[in-house]
Amino acid sequence: MWQSKPVLVLLLLAVSTAATLGKPLLTKITKGGASTALYTAPLSAGRPLVLDLSAPAITTPCSGQTTKVTLSANSTDGSNPLSPVSFAATATCAAAPSGTIGVAGLARSSASFPAQVASTQKVANSFALCLPSAGVGAAIFGGGPFFLAPPADRPAITTLLSDGVPLRQPFSGNPGYFVSATNGVAIDGTRVAVSGSGALVVGLSTTIPYAQLRSDVYRPFITAFDRAMGSSAKVAAVAPFELCYDSSKLSPTRSGYSVPQVDVMLEGGTNFTVVGGNSMAQVNSGTACFAFVQAGGGTAGGTPAVVIGGFQMESKLVVLDNDKKTLSFTPYLPAMGFSCGNFNFTRAG
């Protein structure tokens, strides 16, 4: 039956290669409470595994070094989940984060969850995350493209995806996902002056809640936002944030509070744009804070300049294609009337 609200669904187009004979797998994502803010998926008989972009393997408590586990999700034809799919996977023995039974490592490794899905299901080694700010989101393993529906002729959401940004080689031994910000970062279109020269290394993380900036980048960045924002709504800081504002004095829009826009200017001319919905954290009923924090560690070398946290990726479709070695992403979906909760998890029939 046609629904009055738009539903964001996945539509798989058939591909006639042996490597993509299977169907992608779809699963819900939920966000943990304020104490952890971890994103989990019910991949083990409905029990949660933490989704970790930096972890190279599936892990679960066990004795020994590795074990076999049975994991499950739903295959999808794009309009609806089709049927439950279970498959055997190899897991490394390790303690589980509180409230979960382990970790679904998503990093660039042959032992990761996406790599094992690709191998067992004969699908692409590519996955998409739509992290929810509340409620449920979605993860799709095995490729796309993606469509918005209804109506049936709605353009593919792939038309909203950015051009693919090349992934860097693993950085300082970390098998996660890194790209280059060849033009640095900007506040409201003005580039932030950072000491030194060359591209900034930018990482992605689903296990840190807010973007972290290396100290040599953080200070000029915060100063630039403070100057662009002005002081009329400024209030006392609320840890761990430095810049906080009286939210009753901020104008709400479909993109979140109307505040200076942040752009991480990536290789190839693509910007990872952070609007108010991804930059301002509501810490209490009357206060919203600029959700960027200073990273620990050194000022260069083995530390990425920027690590984009889960909050900055929420309400966007983020696609990591290990076959093509690219990152792509949509703009902030609520600005277009959609959310990560609009995926369809109801099986037909």
Q: Rounded to 10 degrees, what is the CA torsion of 37, 38, 41, 44?
A: -130
Contacts of 94 (CB under 8 A, 6+ apart): 59, 60, 61, 102, 103
**162-329: same fold as 25-153?**
yes
CB 123 within 8 A of CB 18: no
Strands 200-204 and 178-181: antiparallel
SS percent in the chain: helix, strand, coil, step 5: 15, 40, 50
* CATH 2.40.40.20 is the classification of domain 162-329: no
- Distance CA(263)–CA(189), nearest Å, equals 7
Tell which CATH architecture fits domain 25-153.
Beta Barrel (2.40)
Express each pLDDT in 247-288 by its tens digit: 999 999 999 999 999 999 999 999 999 999 999 999 999 999
Q: Where are the domains of the chain?
A: 25-153, 162-329
Token pair belonging to 111: 């032992």
Q: Which of 20-34, 49-63, 137-151 has the lowest mean pLDDT?
A: 137-151
CB 341 within 8 A of CB 132: yes
For the entire predicted model, the pTM comes to: 0.90
Spacing of C-alpha 27 from chain mean position: 15
Token pair belonging to 146: 């993606």
- In terms of pLDDT, which residue wins out, 42 or 77? 42
